[in-house]
A and B are shown apart, each in its own frame.
Chain A
Amino acid sequence: MNAKQQDGAPATAARPSAPVFFKDCVLVDHTGMPLVGTLSGNPAGAPRDIRVRVISARYRDSSPYIGINLRFPLPPNQASNEDAGFGVRYERKFTTAFPCM
């Protein structure tokens, strides 16, 4: 798929911009109708607080991958999660951008 590779340049010549690359995006179906995600709104009327991003996780110390990250909102304190016995979800705050978990 890659124009650079077709030109004969090796794939390793590429210098990615950051250890983890991510960008907001919108998932659309095969007809081009938006599903979820927000870019200056969602024309399909999907809830705006579902965030969708493409990820390129260039880890050297675990499996690298490309993929799509979906985020659904949790309420403050996650009281119902806690009351149900499922515990509260925590996440790590990194100085370098870390998009997932």
Chain B
Amino acid sequence: MYVIDSVMLIIRLDNRKIDAGKGISQSEHYSLNIRFPRGQIDMTAEQAGAELVKMFPGAKFLSLATVRLRDGARVSVDGFGMPFKNTERPDVEGWINRNEPIVNGTTLLDLLAQREFNVVIPLKPSAIEFEWNDAHLPPPFSYPYGTRHQWATKEAYTKLFEAAKGKAMFRPAFR
């Protein structure tokens, strides 16, 4: 996993430059990414209700965004199940290694296995629909080599060789 990661690092350098001198440093967190399956979710974003606003008095503007997985769709979780130990913080180790409740009886697996994700975000609904929307992502990644890589017939080779013959050819060395 780490080897692949370092390869990605090189590939991604074009749009994310590493800060010289502090490229790699010890991580301060165990990070999990919940990835929603593209095109298989329904999203809504609306202004948060009064109850939610009351709970977060500091925030300027709150919206409630809901992501529902369509039938058969599943999220993928990056980073889940990596070996982990944290004796300094047994509570963190408990949440991650032993699936102990984090808050009000909710465990990490409960969070990840949801079919409907509700998030409160301090943004306007229009901004959420603009920024956090799978319809606005770049096209799915694929290498630009096409998908047909087999030669169906012998004729395909013959045609290719005929078409690719150069002007300067070797003199036949035997008859």
1/0 per residue, CB under 8 A from A, across B15-49: the answer is: 11111001111111111111110100011110001
A39-B120 in contact (CB<8A): yes
A81 B86 Cβ-Cβ under 8 A:
yes
Query: From residue 49 to 101 of chain A, which have CB atoms closer than 8 A to chain B?
Result: 50-52, 54-56, 58-81, 83-84, 86, 88-96, 98, 100-101
Q: How far is the CB of B119 from chain A (nearest CB, A)?
A: 5
CA separation between A69 and B78, bound complex, in Å? 9
Q: Chain B binding site: helix, strand, loop or mixed by DSSP?
A: mixed
From B12, B29, B132, give the contact of A56 (CB < 8 A): B132
Q: Distance (Å) between the CB of A5 and the closest chain B CB? A: 7
Residues of the A chain whose Cβ atoms lie less than 8 Å from the Cβ of B102: 35-36, 46-47, 50
Docked CA distance A70–B75 (Å): 14
Chain B residues in 8 Å Cβ range of A75: 86, 88-89
Give CA–CA (A3, B136) in the complex, Å.
Answer: 13
Contacts of B133 in A (CB 8 A): 1-2, 14, 56, 66
Size category of the binding interface on chain A: 35 or more
Q: Is there contact, CB below 8 Å, between A96 and B17? A: yes
Residue count of chain B within 8 Å CB distance of chain A: 83
| The residue from B24, B43, B44 contacting A92, defined by CB atoms under 8 A apart | B24
In contact, B95 and A72 (Cβ under 8 angstroms): yes
> Does chain B have a CB within 8 A of A8?
no
Whether A29 contacts B118 in the complex (CB less than 8 A), given A67-B33, A90-B27, A93-B25, comes out as yes
Separation of A101 and B51 alpha carbons in the complex (Å): 34
Q: Could you name 6 residue pairs across A and B whose Cβ atoms are closer than 8 Å? A: A26-B119, A39-B59, A59-B138, A61-B141, A69-B33, A92-B9
* Chain B residues near A (Cβ < 8 Å): 5, 8-9, 11-12, 14-19, 22-36, 38, 42-45, 49, 51-52, 55-59, 62, 64-65, 75, 78-79, 82-89, 91-92, 95-96, 102-104, 106, 111, 116-123, 126, 129-138, 140-141
9 nearest CB pairs, A to B: A40-B58, A46-B103, A75-B88, A89-B27, A71-B29, A84-B85, A80-B87, A64-B137, A43-B55
